[in-house]
Amino acid sequence: MTEKVVLKQQLLDNFPEELQKVFHFLSISTNYSLIGSSSLRNMIYNNDFDLNEIYKTNETKNVLHNLYEMFKEKFIEAKKMMIFT
């Protein structure tokens, strides 16, 4: 008989504070969640993190340009902070 394994959701608060800061920095809002394999508490080798969030705006004409500008600023700031070196 096969034993059933139940995987529980990992809470963002359970991650180290430095990693939480990176998650917050990369998000475009404060309403994001962790998805994928690293969101599972029992995962032994989680080496990538996938964040999911919904971006809502009434500005449909320039939404892609606005998202581009947001991420461009994040990369400029990250380079200054040397987060990704």
**DSSP characters over 57-75:** -S--SSHHHHHHHHHHHHH
DSSP-assigned states of every residue in the chain: -PPP--PPBPPGGGS-HHHHHHHHHH-SSS-EEEESGGGBTT-S-----EEEE----S--SSHHHHHHHHHHHHHHHHHHHTTT-
pTM of the model: 0.67
Q: Does residue 64 or residue 10 have the better pLDDT?
A: 64
Residue 26 tokens, joined = 């990369």
* Residue-wise pLDDT tens digits, 11-61: 788 788 988 888 888 888 878 888 877 777 666 676 778 888 888 888 888
For 51-80, write each residue's pLDDT tens digit: 888 888 888 888 889 889 999 998 898 888
Residue 18 has, within 13 A of its CA and on its CB side, a CA count of: 2
